[in-house]
Every structure is written in structure tokens, then in C-alpha cells.
């Protein structure tokens, strides 16, 4: 066994604090409510949540009176649970228990936190001599104008191409290719993730570095690169004081994606012509048929040795999302792991929905990692959402990953990506608390 040296005293005390807080939480419930009321409290909570999830499923899969009656039940269930707590004068027990449990988890995580440096490898490379940035003045509600990104970039020596001058949809990949042919030695985008993916593909193909300016609305790619999302102008620092990262690119059919490709209900809904004008109304109208399999393609997914038949939604991502707990929800802790992530949801009825209280029955939510994922269906083509852009692709649709395919230039000083939260491993905590490392 490798000797990792002595454990810092601070971590030992944090591990002890974890056990103390957990014990205090349990004692509080037993002392405040008694054993019988504690069991009752737990049962009422579990039943309330299960009813809420089952009613939520009925809301999504029905229309008319049944839908709205389900909505009432979905809201009434948690309210009833709260009333039950209040009538038993136990709200303070529940609130205090919640606070103590949050403290327990925080102390446990801090005690087990990885000590290894989480930053990806950075490469020192000379600054670009002829950077070329494509900017979309309409992205993020006009961030290019608000943060004066175009004039700032020009002052730093970049050539700026503003999208939208022609009035119609421009071929950004062609603009980027022309720029490289004319001598550009870096390509960058200030815009949404769909545009980032199109230009990143050209940068990887031409072997020039890519630069991301967080001027979109969601900026998920910028977030997972550890860039500043609040102030997109900070991303321009990469031009004069930058380092390079090597990251992976996902491929779906003949397209590149930087974040994810989605299949199934959501991808089908966004293809609907009515979706642009009425997102909620169109989703509610289409969901019942899509979720119950009366409409839309039946998906067949192969990820490594795993095969799934009939999931309602599948998300394939460029490196897996940290979905193990809410802290990591919707973010990737690394973009250079060389593996696609897959998340598939298959809810067959209200019982499956209710089972989500305990994490779902087997097959309800499936996660996997693989280097190739194939999505097939009984139809000749499939709607696919590629980094938020709605496309139709011929089946079977193959997703692969190209490890280290993209050089990304980022500011040397940037917010960075937090280390993934460690699993709350009680055995390791016990060893730590007892000073055994």
C-alpha cells in the first residue's frame, strides 16, 4: 500500500465533526419527535414525495381535466406533508434536522476533499499574431455591445467579424475557414454554444487554437472550461496572457459538439415549428404522445456492451456530467477524459416516476461512459439537438469522441473549474476520525 504520509489534523477534526453533526441530527429527531413520531415523519415524507412524482407524471402524460387534476395533487402532496409536520408541531425538528444534515455533508466533504491539484495541464505557447474572432451581437441579449467586446478585441490586435451583417443565417464555418486560409493563427467566438461548436470544429481541423468568449445566454462550454461567465471581456485576456489546454471534441454523425447531443422527446419537441413562438404550450401539447410512445421514434441505444430499448430521452455528452449529486448537476469537471457520457431516462408509468424517491427502479435512469454510442430507431432519420441546435440525422446515429482534438487558449488567470465533490464515504471518514489516515 502507498504511504500517503500523515493526515493533516484539520481533516481529522472535520471527520470527527461529521460524525458529531450526524449523531446530533439523529438524536434531535428522536428527542424532538420520539421514535414513533420519527417513523411517522419519515413515512409521511416518502409517501408525499412519491405521490407528488406520480402526479407529476400524470400531468405530463395527460391532457385536459386529468392533467389539471394531477397538477392540483402534485402541489397538494407536499403542502399536506408540511401541514402534517405543523400539526404535530414538528416543523422546527424538520428544519433543524435539515440544517444539521447540510452541515454533516459539508464537513464530510471537506474532510475527504481531494488534495491533488484539479487544474488540467496548461501549455505555454506564444500569443497569436493574427487572431480572428467571430462575434454575434445578438447573443446573450447583446453582450458584445454591452461589454464593448469588439472594440476591446481590436485594441488587442484581433480581427473581428460581426455576425448578422447580411441579415440572414451566415455560414460561420465558411467564415472561419476563409480566415485561416488568409493567415489567421487563432479562431475565437463570442456567441452561443452552437456557434462555438461550429467554429471549434474548423479550428481542430486546421490545427489552430480556439478561444471562447462567454457572450452567449447560457455559456455552458465557457463554464466547463473554467472561464468567467459574468464578465465576457475577461475572456479576452487569453489574447495577451493566455495558456493552452487540450480538450476532447464529441462527434455526432458528421457534426462536432462541444457540450452534448440530445435525442428523444426534447429533441423532437424543439423541431416543431410551433416551438419557437410558444415553448411551454408546444411542450405540454406534444409530451403525452411522446412519453407514452404513441408518437416519435422508438430509440435503441448501444453504449459499449450496454443496450437500451425505448428510452424517452438520451443525452450524450463530451465527457460525463457530474450528476451524482446536486452540487455537480449540469457541469463537467473535466473535458479531457477521452470518454462520452450517456444519460438515458425511461419512465414507463406513474410507478416508475414514484420510484424516483429512492433513485428510480432499475432501468429508469441509466448512466454510462463509452467511447462510441450508437442511437438507432425504427425510422430512417432522427431529430437530434446538437449543442442546442435542432437537426435531423439519418439512422443509425453514431457518436464518438476525439481525445485532445482541440487546443483552447484561455486566460492564465481565470475562475477555474472546482474539484468534483468527493463521495461521502463513511468508512474512509471513520478511519480519518480515528486518525488512521
Ligand X SMILES: Nc1ncnc2c1ncn2[C@@H]1O[C@H](COP(=O)(O)OP(=O)(O)OP(=O)(O)O)[C@@H](O)[C@H]1O
Residue ranges binding ligand X (CB under 6 A): 136, 138-140, 163-164, 169-170, 172, 191-195, 216-218, 388
Cβ proximity to ligand X: between 136 and 364 the closer is: 136
Q: How many CB atoms lie within 10 A of CB 3?
A: 6
| Closer residue to ligand X, CB minimum distance, 193 or 224 | 193
- Residue 168: CB minimum distance to ligand X, A: 7
Identify which of residues 12 and 220 has a Cβ nearer to ligand X in the complex.
220
- In the chain, what's the furthest Cα-to-Cα distance? 77
| Nearest-approach distance from CB 272 to ligand X, in angstroms | 17
Which CB atom, from 134 or from 291, has the smaller least distance to ligand X? 134
Nearer to ligand X, 194 or 420 (CB): 194
* Cβ at position 175, least distance to ligand X in Å: 9
By three-state DSSP, how is residue 232 classified? helix
Task: Give the nearer residue to ligand X in terms of CB position, either 169 or 427.
Answer: 169
Write down the least CB distance from residue 414 to ligand X, Å. Answer: 19
Q: Which residue is nearest to ligand X (CB)?
A: 192
Choose between 331 and 428: whose C-beta lies nearer to ligand X: 331
* Minimum gap (Å) between residue 435 Cβ and ligand X: 49
Closest separation in Å from C-beta 140 to ligand X: 4
Residues forming a β-bridge with 24: none
Q: Report the nearest approach of ligand X to the CB of residue 196 (Å).
A: 8
**Closest distance between ligand X and the C-beta of residue 189, in Å?**
9
Report in angstroms how near the CB of residue 166 gets to ligand X at its nearest: 8
For ligand X, the closer of residues 38 and 136 by Cβ is 136
Report the residue number, 184 or 213, with the smaller CB distance to ligand X: 213
Amino acid at each position: 500500500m502507498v504511504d500517503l504520509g500523515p493526515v493533516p489534523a484539520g481533516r481529522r477534526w472535520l471527520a470527527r465533526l461529521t460524525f458529531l453533526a450526524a449523531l446530533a441530527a439523529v438524536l434531535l429527531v428522536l428527542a424532538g419527535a420520539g421514535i414513533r413520531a420519527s417513523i411517522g415523519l419519515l413515512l409521511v415524507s416518502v409517501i408525499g414525495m412519491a405521490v407528488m412524482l406520480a402526479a407529476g407524471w400524470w400531468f405530463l402524460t395527460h391532457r385536459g381535466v386529468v392533467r389539471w387534476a394531477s397538477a392540483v395533487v402534485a402541489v397538494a402532496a407536499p403542502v399536506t406533508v408540511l401541514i402534517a409536520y405543523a400539526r404535530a408541531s414538528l416543523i422546527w425538528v424538520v428544519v433543524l434536522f435539515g440544517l444539521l444534515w447540510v452541515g454533516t455533508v459539508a464537513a464530510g466533504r471537506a474532510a475527504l476533499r481531494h488534495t491533488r491539484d484539479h487544474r488540467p495541464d496548461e501549455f505555454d505557447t506564444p500569443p497569436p499574431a493574427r487572431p480572428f474572432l467571430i462575434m454575434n451581437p445578438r447573443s446573450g441579449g447583446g453582450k458584445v455591445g454591452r461589454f464593448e467586446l469588439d472594440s476591446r478585441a481590436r485594441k488587442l490586435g484581433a480581427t473581428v467579424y460581426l455576425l448578422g451583417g447580411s441579415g440572414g443565417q451566415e455560414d460561420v464555418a465558411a467564415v472561419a475557414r476563409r480566415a485561416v486560409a488568409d493567415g489567421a493563427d487563432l479562431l475565437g467566438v463570442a456567441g452561443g454554444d452552437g456557434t462555438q461548436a461550429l467554429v471549434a470544429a474548423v479550428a481542430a481541423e486546421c490545427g489552430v487554437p480556439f478561444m471562447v468568449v462567454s457572450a452567449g445566454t447560457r455559456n455552458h462550454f465557457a463554464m466547463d472550461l473554467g472561464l468567467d461567465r459574468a464578465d465576457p471581456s475577461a475572456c479576452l485576456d487569453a489574447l495577451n496572457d493566455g495558456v493552452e489546454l487540450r480538450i476532447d471534441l464529441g462527434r455526432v454523425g458528421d457534426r462536432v459538439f462541444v457540450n452534448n447531443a440530445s435525442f428523444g422527446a426534447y429533441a423532437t419537441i424543439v423541431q416543431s415549428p410551433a416551438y419557437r413562438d410558444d415553448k411551454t404550450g408546444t411542450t405540454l401539447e406534444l409530451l403525452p404522445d411522446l412519453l407514452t410512445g404513441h408518437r416519435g421514434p422508438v430509440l435503441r441505444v448501444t453504449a459499449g456492451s450496454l443496450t437500451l430499448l425505448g428510452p424517452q430521452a438520451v443525452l450524450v455528452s463530451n465527457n460525463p456530467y457530474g450528476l451524482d449529486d446536486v452540487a455537480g448537476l449540469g457541469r463537467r469537471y473535466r473535458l479531457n477524459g477521452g470518454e462520452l457520457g450517456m444519460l438515458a431516462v425511461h419512465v414507463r408509468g406513474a410507478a416508475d416516476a414514484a420510484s424516483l424517491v429512492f433513485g428510480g427502479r432499475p432501468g429508469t435512469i441509466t448512466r454510462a461512459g463509452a467511447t462510441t454510442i450508437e442511437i438507432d430507431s425504427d425510422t430512417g432519420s432522427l431529430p437530434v439537438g446538437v449543442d442546442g441546435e435542432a437537426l435531423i440525422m439519418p439512422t443509425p446515429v453514431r457518436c464518438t469522441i476525439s481525445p485532445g482534438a482541440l487546443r483552447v487558449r484561455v486566460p492564465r488567470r481565470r475562475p477555474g473549474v472546482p474539484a468534483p465533490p468527493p463521495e461521502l464515504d463513511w468508512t474512509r471518514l471513520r478511519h480519518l476520525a480515528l486518525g488512521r489516515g
